[in-house]
A and B are shown apart, each in its own frame.
Chain A
């Protein structure tokens, strides 16, 4: 197994594997998302309390999962870069940051839009929303640091250090926000999770959209990483061969250009 993982460390291999996986990923993700959304919007029974407004959770919960998952993946890549000096880890971390930030934004938007009918205002200082807002600021901080440092290698290592510092601080932030929330407002009874009184099958669409989100995440990750690989390896022979063969045939729809 290690041999396969080791190979992923080489940009050329990552690029070719990416190209091979992408068509499948497109198909599966599209299918999952379409089924999940249609089922969630049209077919699952309305919530006994909130009526159809609860259909927002089919996007809210996967977005929250993606927010967490993308940060842990960035932390993993940062550790790999600092400890084992894997150049590929920085390429992936750089690709994940914007997607994670946008997922957090989606989580915040869906959370506050869900809140309008239930809480009466579009923003309340609910514990989960507030810690997600802080997580969004941390994402923005990492992206800002990467764009502020010119030299690419020190930017990579600096962002890796900041990500790991963020990783240590996030549980502390969540704990302090949780404690602070109980102090000021008491646990909000209508939190997003306790729709337990509903029949279990309302969770089936969330299953589909959840994996659809993960598929979408990896599509974005592979595309962005491939761009970064092309930029960094533009002088290497395999990129020249790859692009010369492209001249020979019409450039296929971007993103699925068949490899050499």
Chain B
């Protein structure tokens, strides 16, 4: 079997396996909708807690709206991380993933992209609705969605590292928070900065660029950390 046919089939193999991974994850999300609904419900309920606690004064709520939306979205994404590796670790599929000939780097990207589609996209779509519930001014809506679109993948990738490190442990929900939340700070700071700048009418494209830079850094580096962590947890 000459090698170039082998090379061509391995490229095709990688793309087809990534496609198969994404399709499998979508199917899994469809089969157990908890992975989609629970983060979303947490996001909605957590946001409604704020008016109940801090009162419904309009200017105050609209002042804290970007922060509230971003913090609850961040927590929702972190809580949704549990469904990323745990099910596959328990039924043995994670070993098959590590044993597959295709480079683990791209398989993990496919897996995390599908988790982002399942868990984070609904949150992004719902964020403007909740923001308007908190009387956030309308010109902040688009920047909010843009910053979430760029920020949540970084949160998912960093959460993936934490999840890969703790997948072998029996009850590690809170440990994930202790490990990963400090690393979420830059995304939170720039994310709320974008919305705040938009509301004050100042230019926010620079901050979006910073978020995009964080996104590029996370996409390129964190799969390396995740595959190293998975190989350790599988040991």
A positions within 8 Å CB-CB of B: 82, 134, 137-138, 140-141, 144-145, 148-149, 151, 153-154, 157-158, 161-162, 164-166, 168-169, 172-173, 175-177, 179-180, 183
Contacts and interface: CB of A to CB of B under 8 A. Distances in A.
Given A141-B178, A180-B189, A148 B166 contact: yes
A175 B193 CA distance: 14
Where chain B touches its partner, the secondary structure class is helix
Contact of A176 (B178, B180, B186): B186
Interface string B187-224: 00110010010000000000000000010010001100
Where chain A touches its partner, the secondary structure class is helix
Given A157-B232, A168-B221, A183-B193, A176 B165 contact: no
B221 A145 contact: no
Interface of B: 161, 165-166, 168-169, 172, 175, 178-183, 185-186, 189-190, 193, 196, 214, 217, 221-222, 225, 228-229, 232-233, 235
Given A137-B178, A137-B182, A145-B179, A176 B189 contact: yes
Contacts of A138: 182-183
Contacts of B178: 137, 140-141, 144
A166 to B, nearest CB: 7
B165 A179 contact: no
Contacts of B225: 161, 164-165
B165 A144 contact: no
B136 to A, nearest CB: 18
A149 B169 contact: yes
B232 A154 contact: yes
B166 to A, nearest CB: 7
B185 A173 contact: yes
A10 to B, nearest CB: 24
A148 B172 CA distance: 8
B232 to A, nearest CB: 4
Contacts of B175: 144-145, 148
A168 B196 CA distance: 27
Contact of A180 (B179, B182, B183, B193): B193
Contact of A158 (B165, B182, B189): B165
B165 A161 contact: yes
12 contacts: A134-B182, A137-B182, A144-B179, A145-B165, A148-B169, A154-B233, A157-B228, A158-B229, A158-B233, A162-B161, A173-B183, A183-B193
Contacts of B235: 151, 153-154
A174 to B, nearest CB: 9
Contact of B186 (A149, A153, A158, A173): A173
A190 to B, nearest CB: 24
B179 A141 contact: yes
A169 B183 contact: yes
Contact of B229 (A134, A161, A179): A161
A165 B183 contact: yes
Contacts of B166: 145, 148
Given A148-B172, A168-B221, 8 more contacts: A82-B228, A149-B169, A154-B168, A165-B161, A172-B217, A173-B183, A179-B189, A183-B196
